[in-house]
Structure 1
Amino acid sequence: MTCCGNFFGVQYDDRATVFISGIHPGICCTTAEVTAERSTLLHIAAGEGHCDLITELCLRDGTLLSSANSWRDTPLHSAARTGHADAVEALVRLARSSVEEDRLREIVGGRNSDGDTALHLAARHGHGEAVEVLIMLAPELAEVVNGAGVSPLYLAVMSGSVRAVQTIVGCANASAAGPMSQNALHAAVFKGSEMVSLLLGWRTAIATDVDRNQSSPLHFAASEGDCSIIQEILTRAPHSAYMQDSDGLSALHAAALMGNGPAVKLLLKFCPGTADIRDKHGKSFLHAASLRGHSSIVSLVTKNRMLKNILNKQDREGNTALHLAVQAGEYKVVSKLLSSGKVHVHIMNNAGHTPSDLIENSTGGFYSMARLVVNLYVHGAQFRPQRQDNIKEWAGQDTVKWRAATSKNLAIVSTLVATVAFSAAFNVPGSYGSDGKATLDGNRIYKAFIVLDTIAMITAVVATILLVVYGRASRRHHFWFGFIFSMYLLWLSVLSMMLGFLAAIAGTSNMKPTLTALSTLTYDGIYILMTLLTGLTMPGSLKGVLRLVFGRQEHLKRRINRQYPLVLICAFNVLLFIVINIAALAAVQIINKLS
């Protein structure tokens, strides 16, 4: 026999000897030679899919078919891993023609160090054609799990190969096992509805299999939120909606915890009775949604008359959904619950706390606390009866440190404003005449500029003094007045500087379109700033703030003032801030008319 093949510069002849050509001429090796990982030439040929070379090597040395490298991979493993279906078929055909039945089973069903068969490797890498060949030649491989207890079907699903999955589910006895007691359907819910349909059509019972945490595939699908998959599972196995995991959570709980509104709606439509399922702590899906702050789920419940009965249900600790939302500082959820008019705000939990009592332990910051206080006050929520001298002032946030840091930053801003305002007095609009006086002296717009610039400078200087000396040196609570007053002075100086700029332009320009555009821009700028800052600092709705400041529930207001004094201060100052900005907006209109 003469030379019958070439592979990567490797030539072979009829003496079963291989010559390495082009590298070290004259150096040769036999078919028994191996690589550093003990892979034979047949491993390499199978991994590259060279069927002619595979046939030639097997004819020369049949023992190569069962040879294993350091990872216990056989040539069949190498061919399956790289997806060369023709090489897989050639290896199995050669094994059948040259070895006994027992040894054939060892070669075809051989496992590597991870317990993987050739089918595991082909499925893991999504080689659908190679999977088809292996299933056709050895369908029993679909029943085998590897060392981690994972089946080829699970690996095929994870690879996303629909072709591989279709082939394996053609075997009635195929295993669907996966890690942590999961099955292939647990993985399929994250791969799309086509994969789910294939598996459910093959074996519907896997819809009720559970993993190590007692979670069913529907739990996984509900947490993901794909309604097409949820509907597919519910259609085939509707009772799976009532299954609970090791914590007592149903699929409805899982959807609520993730805020998947459409999934919650679909689950309730198919299985309305799941709304009454509670976990081990007695929490319904509404409790779960409230605790996570998913206001869309809460809104869905409040609008459904059939779910009215769960709005005030208490868990094992006596907490309603409102209790949990307040404790989590979820203002939007609290607002949805209270606005429904169906939630009882006076229910006490097992510790004797009403929702209002839990504000002090809420996980939000200052503004979250303030919004909760205002919202609950508006809806008449009461605190538990207790001696008033035992009430401690809210200390959920270190306001002293916050004030010190803020004072430092605001002092820098006020210093810059004062510097700009001071320099503007010596660079007046219209310049100076030969007598050293301003050329616009006597003009109404010029006078407005001088007044505004003076206000800007004085207020900025006073604000700087208060912030640096008075504000930062003070530690007692009633010295908050100085800090707040300095903030108003700073804002007034900024507004005066903006209005002064507009007045300067108006006094030195005769172009009416330009003045109109500038006044509109200034007006819009102040309005946008006012809206943004009001929205950020507003402790609740404007209606709620007005009711807190001017309301007649004196007893409740006194109670709030004892524990949350800063809330009333914040509410009053927001209203004052709005008034000041309205005055500034009016000033823009006046300057525009004067020009």
Structure 2
Amino acid sequence: MAASSSRQDIETLAKMEEGAAHDHEHGVEDIEMVNTAEQWNWEEEENIDKCMDPEILEHAATGNDPNRTRPKLRSEMFEQRSTLGNYFIHLASSVGDLGSVKLIAELHPSQVLKQNNEGNLPLHLAASAGHLSTVCFLVEISQTNNYNLLVEKNTRGNTALHVAVENHHQEVAKFLIYNDESRFSPNMYGKTPLSMAAEAGNVELIKHMIFGRPSWLAFDNFPEEPWEGNSVLRAAILGRNREIIKIVLLCISSSLVGATDEEGMTPLTLGAYIDDFETVSTMLATVGGSAASNKEDKNGFTPVHLASRKGHITIVELLLKHCPPPRDLLDKNNWNILHTAVWHRRDNMVKYILGKFEFQELINQKDKFGNTPLHLAVRQGYPKTVSILASSKRVNFSVRNNEGHSAMDIARMSLMGEKTLFLRRPLTVMALTLASASRSPERSISSKVKPTEANYFNVTEQRGAFLSVVPEDASSHIQTVNNLLLVSTLVATVTFTAGFTMPGGYMSSGNDEGKSTLVTDWLFQTFLICNTIAMYSSITVAIGLLWAQTGDMSYACSKVGLPILGLALSMMLVAFMAGVALVTSNLTWLAIFVVITGSIFLVIVLLLLVPLIIPISTKHRVTCFVLRCAFHMLLNIPKYDDVDD
């Protein structure tokens, strides 16, 4: 009887599968497509699953194709497992083979509780692939046998509803929503089906989860979604889905606006941080929105601080309408919004605050260390930000912090170190000096060096020996002198060689034998004049710097070495330009190209040399204009490695 019954069951299974062929065609290609949609590595699983009985795999491979002969199923096949832990019911569920699933469940109801190595039930696989009829049957039989499959989770903490939402199977998700409350159940990453739908921007599913609740779930007892890392409101804000935000605030709880997550962040703070003006406006209009605008996170930042940190001007304007006066909005370091904008190099926000009369109290306001926004900009080495601040007439340059340092003091001291900040510190000093900033009197007096300390060499029998105690910047001056000597020597060598390798060559006969063939050409004359000046200048610099070895190297570098060497380099550039243009003068366009490019780079070289040669404290209008042009050109060179999160 048992054998006969088994044969009848198998025959019944074959008939049911043939009938299902009208609804589901799932050959080998379909199986691979389904598993790709559910984010399974089908190729790996297929190879490993060959450890199962080949007849089982053949059965799954033939699917519901009525044109192929399918192997007969035997009861012992149902207990076989692949290396991945899949039973036959898992394979049948994943491809929507409802007939096989029904037969197995009727013969062995406990098979619906089987889990593979990833903790997936047959229900998980059916939901992942979007097979609604298979899902309906598995839910129905679980309720009949008092199995609560809907709350069962796999190793990632996902229920069947999680899987359906993740793979965008609307109808399957709606069916599961109506039959259980797992929409509020978090997985191991803290994500609920509700928050996953919000991340995907699935408004229809969100509405169904909230408005399509079953009759047995009273509205008053509707679970309130916690404001945590992956809550539905956070997901909606990050996805900028304003319709979902409105639904959550109106239908779940408006009090979520003031709730904080594990980082101490409120939804309002997050909206301000990502510059979502409409979302911030919506939350401010809800009950408790104004109170949330003043709420601090664990770092003491209010929403307006974070908006200022990111440079979101419109958000700052909106939030300040609901906040106390800006001078009272301070974080744990007593930073106002201008401090924050300066520290994070938000120059647009700095300009906005400086341009508003009502923010004038913020400009020279001190933090708990006595630093004004200008102190912070200088300390960070942001020359452009310093220039913007220094351009305001309301900025007080003489303000000192708790250590007694003015902004210029900090800039000068920082120049002694942080070599990696190429040009940032020198340009910061230049920005302050061009704005007529002065050092604090005490610091200026204490920083003066006595005349006897200006000589960095000990006059002993060992010529050139260093003093045992060398001033802090002595080594840098010595290195500068050595570098200038090297450059001047190279210039002298190049120009000397060029003086005896004339463009165009020499005459080989006549009274002028050995003379230059192009001596009457104006380009040749330009080449020769510039080359001569460069040669003599470099020799002069070299001799002057040799004398500097026995005296004040700082004076020698700034007053002798740099100006004359700058002249030599400029003349060498012009000499090269004239020489190349001369030998290419028979091709007009090429000669013009050489002259134009040479002129452009000559201007750049001069602008680079100007701040090194001309005192930046000069009051002459023309000189100041040239210095400012050079300053703004140099502002584009420094790079900033500091990352703003």
The normalised TM-score by structure 2 is 0.70
Candidates 70, 80, 92, aligned match of 1:45: 92
Structure 1 counterpart of 2:51 = none
Contact 1:259 1:289 survives alignment (8 Å): yes
**Counterpart position of 1:158:** 199
Structure 1 unmatched runs, 5+: 11-16, 553-570, 579-595
Residue number in structure 1 paired with 2:640 = none
The answer to whether the 8 A contact 1:466-1:483 is kept is no
In structure 2, the residue matched to 1:445 is 522
Decide whether aligned partners of structure 1 residues 34 and 56 sit closer, same or farther in structure 2, where only a CA change above 3 A counts. same
Q: Does 1:113 align with 2:155?
A: yes
Can you list the C-alpha shifts for 1:317-349, whole angstroms capped at 9, x where unaligned?
A: 221111111211222222222222122222222
For 2:100, the aligned partner's letter is: L
Structure 2 residue matching 1:386: 3-state secondary structure? helix
Task: Output one character per residue of 1:39-80: Cα deviation in whole Å (capped at 9) or x when no partner.
Answer: 222222222333333333323322122222333321112223
Higher share in helix: 1
CA contact (8 A) 2:398 2:406 kept: yes
Residue 251 of structure 1, aligned match among 303, 324, 346: 303
For 2:574, the equivalent position in structure 1 comes to 495
Secondary structure in structure 1 of the residue aligned to 2:301: coil
Q: Which residue identity lines up with residue 572 of structure 2 in the other structure?
A: S
Residue 35 (structure 1) aligns with: 82
Selected match of 1:313 from 353, 365, 369: 365
Q: Deviations over 1:89-120 (max 9, x none)?
A: 33213333x313xx2xx212212334332222
AA at the equivalent of 1:369: R
Shift in CA distance, 251/442, structure 1 to aligned 2, threshold 3 Å: closer
1:176 aligned to 2:225?
Answer: yes
Instruction: Indicate the percent of aligned positions where both proteins have the same amino acid.
Output: 20
- Pairwise CA distance, 1:249: 0.3
User: Residue deviations 1:167-195, cap 9 Å, x none?
Assistant: 33335625534755x53222322212334
> In the aligned structure 2, how far is the partner of 1:345 from the partner of 1:518?
51
How far 1:273 moved relative to its partner? 4.4
Q: 2:405, 2:440 within 8 Å by CA — same for their partners in 1?
A: yes
Q: Which of 145, 170, 182 in structure 2 is aligned with 1:141?
A: 182
> Using a 3 Å threshold, how does the CA distance of structure 1 residues 416 and 152 change in structure 2: closer, same or farther?
farther
Which residue in 1 is equivalent to 2:393? Answer: 341
Map 1:149-548; keep pairs closer than 5 Å. 149-170=190-211, 171=213, 173-174=222-223, 176-177=225-226, 180=229, 183-194=231-242, 195-203=244-252, 204-236=254-286, 237-268=289-320, 271=323, 273=325, 276-362=328-414, 365=421, 367-386=423-442, 390-391=446-447, 399=476, 403=480, 414=491, 417-418=494-495, 421-422=498-499, 424-425=501-502, 427-428=504-505, 436=513, 440=517, 443-445=520-522, 448=525, 451-452=528-529, 454-455=531-532, 458=535, 462=539, 476-478=553-555, 480=557, 481-482=560-561, 485-505=564-584, 509=586, 514=588, 518-519=591-592, 521-522=593-594, 524-533=596-605, 548=617
Corresponding residue to 1:80 among 122, 127, 139: 127
1:456·1:494 contact (CA, 8 Å) conserved in 2? no
> Does the alignment pair 1:94 with 2:141?
yes
**Relative to structure 1, is the Cα distance of residues 114 and 424 closer, same or farther in structure 2, using a 3 angstrom cutoff?**
same
1:407-445 CA distance string (max 9 Å, x none):
69958974895487357416339x756664568566252
Q: What amino acid is the match of 1:67? A: K
RMSD of aligned residue pairs (Cα, Å):
4.5
| 2:489/2:538 contact within 8 Å kept | no
User: May I ask how many residue pairs the two structures share in their alignment?
Assistant: 534
1:135 offset after TM fit, Å?
0.6
- Residue 64 of structure 1: aligned partner: 111
**Superposition deviation, residue 210 in structure 1:** 0.7
Structure 2: stretches of 5+ with no match in the other structure: 1-7, 19-25, 32-53, 62-69, 214-218, 450-470, 631-645
Q: Per the alignment, do residues 178 and 277 of structure 1 end up closer, same or farther by CA in structure 2, a change over 3 Å counting?
A: closer
Deviates more, 1:388-397 or 1:221-230: 388-397
Report deviation, 1:243. Answer: 1.4
Q: CA offsets per residue over residues 558-592 of structure 1, 9 Å max, x none? A: xxxxxxxxxxxxx99x87x99xxxxxxxxxxxxxx
Counterpart CA distance in 1 for 2:105 and 2:263 is 49
- Seen in structure 2, the aligned counterparts of structure 1 residues 471 and 219 have a Cα distance that, compared at 3 Å, is farther
Q: 1:213 to 1:524 in 2, by over 3 A?
A: same
